[in-house]
């Protein structure tokens, strides 16, 4: 598969997935994985999540922002997955908080959009690797991959 085909498959997975597996490195240097709900995406370049400020992975991203995010689907056909590598930013500015806030978030953040335990995560992608039908294709992600 070509890099352009891999990018198209990757974008399809990012667009349809609701859950992402997000990697981090704990304080002892061991890899960790966490499932997060994908809130938004801007093409393949930027993916947004929200999480609890008090969570372990927020502490881990403060120390080491390099990470990967994995999306996959099976749907009675061939397994398709994409690993995206890049950097995770922790945001607590008002615009970012309001961007992702939805009705029902109060269940997790009882103080509302300004709850100190509410953090927005912005993942900026540098590269990816698509796996489909026993074939792997790597690709770079640039600002042209924003839609």
Q: CA–CA separation, 137 vs 130, rounded Å?
A: 5
Q: The domain that contains 69 carries what CATH number?
A: 2.30.110.10
Structure confidence at residue 77 (pLDDT) = 73
- Averaged pLDDT score across all residues of the chain: 92
DSSP state of 109: -
Structure confidence at residue 1 (pLDDT) = 86
Least confident of 16-25, 46-55, 73-82: 73-82
Residues spanned by the domain of 85:
3-145
Q: What is the pTM of this model?
A: 0.90
Helix H or strand E segment including 92? none
At 123, the pLDDT band (50, 70, 90 cuts) reads very high
Number of independent structural domains in the chain: 1
Average pLDDT over residues 60-84: 90
Average pLDDT over residues 43-57: 94
Indicate whether 147 pLDDT > 90.
Answer: no
User: CA-CA distances (angstroms) from residue 4 to 9, 10, 44, 140, 146?
Assistant: 9, 10, 12, 10, 14
Average pLDDT over residues 104-125: 94
Average pLDDT over residues 106-130: 95
73 conformational bin, left if phi > 0, alpha if psi -120 to 50, beta if neither: beta
Q: Which of 51, 43, 50 is nearest to 14 (CA)?
A: 43
Q: Are 126 and 139 in contact (CB under 8 A)?
A: no
DSSP labels, 92-141: --HHHHHHH--TTGGGT-TTGGG-TTEEEEEEEEEEEEEEETTEEEEEE-
Residue owning tokens 């999306």: 71
């Amino acid at each position: 598969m070509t890099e352009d085909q891999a990018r198209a498959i990757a974008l399809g997975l990012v667009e349809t997935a609701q859950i992402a597996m997000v990697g981090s490195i704990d304080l002892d240097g061991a890899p960790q994985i966490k499932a997060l709900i994908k809130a938004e995406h801007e093409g393949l370049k930027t993916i947004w999540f929200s999480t609890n400020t008090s969570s372990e992975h927020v502490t881990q991203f403060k120390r080491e922002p390099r990470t990967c995010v994995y999306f996959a689907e099976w749907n009675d056909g061939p397994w398709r997955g994409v690993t995206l590598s890049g950097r995770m930013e922790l945001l607590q500015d008002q615009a970012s908080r309001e961007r992702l806030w939805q009705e029902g978030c109060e269940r997790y953040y009882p103080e509302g959009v300004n709850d100190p335990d509410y953090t927005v995560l912005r993942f900026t992608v540098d590269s990816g690797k698509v796996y489909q039908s026993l074939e792997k294709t790597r690709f770079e992600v640039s600002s042209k991959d924003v839609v």
